[in-house]
Amino acid sequence: MPKAIWNGVVIAESDHTEIVEGNHYFPPESIKKEYFFETDKHTTCPWKGIASYYTLKVNGEENPNAAWFYPDPKPAAESIKNHVAFYGSVTIEE
């Protein structure tokens, strides 16, 4: 089962991730919301739409904008609506 781990803590875990462009997108119900804090950052992907970001806060440390999601994706990316992906020092174990 894929798990997202940062700072020694499992922050998301699911048997049903969507893999897009090499990234595991975790369903919204699989993230441990107590570690996620939405930020003002947004980026645009030509085919997925506008991404929103979370800062992770675990064990007193912050990982700014380390997770992203598409709240209103374009039709081609509908399968990842509100699913969360990670980068940086977040480790994905399968």
DSSP single-letter state for residue 42: E
| Side chain identity at residue 73, one-letter code | P
**Distance, CA of 1 to CA of 22 (rounded, Å):** 16
**Is residue 3 a contact partner of residue 92, using CB atoms and an 8 Å limit?**
yes
Average pLDDT over residues 14-18: 97
The parent domain of residue 42 ranges over: 3-93
DSSP single-letter state for residue 17: P
- Give the global pTM: 0.95
Average pLDDT over residues 34-43: 98
30 phi and psi angles, rounded to 5 deg: -95, -10
What percent of the chain stands above pLDDT 90? 98
**Distance, CA of 26 to CA of 83 (rounded, Å):** 5
| Count: domains in the chain | 1
The per-residue pLDDT for range 46-87, each reduced to its tens digit, is 999 999 999 999 999 999 999 999 999 999 999 999 999 999
Q: In this predicted structure, what is the pLDDT of residue 88? A: 81
Q: In this predicted structure, what is the pLDDT of residue 12? A: 98
**Distance, CA of 79 to CA of 76 (rounded, Å):** 8
CA atoms 28, 33, 35, 37: torsion sign: positive
Q: In this predicted structure, what is the pLDDT of residue 50? A: 98
Domain of 77, CATH number, reads 2.170.150.40
Q: In this predicted structure, what is the pLDDT of residue 71? A: 98
Q: In this predicted structure, what is the pLDDT of residue 59? A: 95
